[in-house]
């Protein structure tokens, strides 16, 4: 599991992506490249100020870069930010990683073996190497 700082950053990225407007913005940018706020306003039928909030969230999550030309503000995907997200998100959701059964020292494994405890007092939970290990009390 990554350190707390990395988890916080990843959470911010997922929060930034957990919005329909922000996903649409990112989709447009990945398709078109650098795009002006005024173009987004036309595409989405909303105001530049509303879009600025969403663009700011994506930028602070490290997903976008911006540049100003005169009074015009342009946004584009941040290749480094996108690469970083792919490095941790793609392996996390890879279906090939899904275990075929429960961990051998888990509550599910104990219950599958037919030795299901009647109440929590019959089990002890321990943390070893960042994993929870369940033991039945004899």
What is the rounded CA–CA span in Å between residue 77 and residue 65? 6
Q: Spell out, as residue ranges, where the chain has pLDDT lower than 50.
A: none
pLDDT tens column, 87-119: 999 999 999 999 898 888 888 888 888 877 767
CATH number listed for the domain at residues 4-94: 1.10.10.10
Q: Where are the domains of the chain?
A: 4-94, 101-136
Instruction: Enumerate helices (H) and strands (E) in the chain, giving the number of each.
Output: 6, 5
Distance CA(62)–CA(47), nearest Å, equals: 23
For residue 20, what pLDDT is reported? 95
């Amino acid at each position: 599991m990554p350190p707390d700082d990395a988890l916080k950053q990843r959470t911010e990225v997922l929060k930034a992506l957990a919005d329909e407007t922000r996903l649409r913005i990112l989709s447009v940018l990945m398709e078109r490249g650098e795009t002006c706020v005024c173009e987004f306003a036309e595409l989405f039928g909303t105001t530049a100020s509303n879009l600025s909030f969403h663009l700011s969230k994506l930028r602070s999550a490290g997903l976008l870069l911006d540049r100003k030309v005169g009074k015009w503000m342009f946004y584009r995907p941040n290749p480094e930010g996108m690469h970083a997200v792919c490095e941790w998100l793609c392996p996390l959701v890879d279906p090939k990683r899904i275990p075929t059964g429960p961990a051998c020292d888990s509550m599910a494994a104990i219950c599958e073996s037919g030795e299901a405890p009647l109440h929590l007092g019959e089990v002890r939970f321990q943390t070893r190497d960042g994993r929870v290990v369940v033991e039945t009390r004899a």
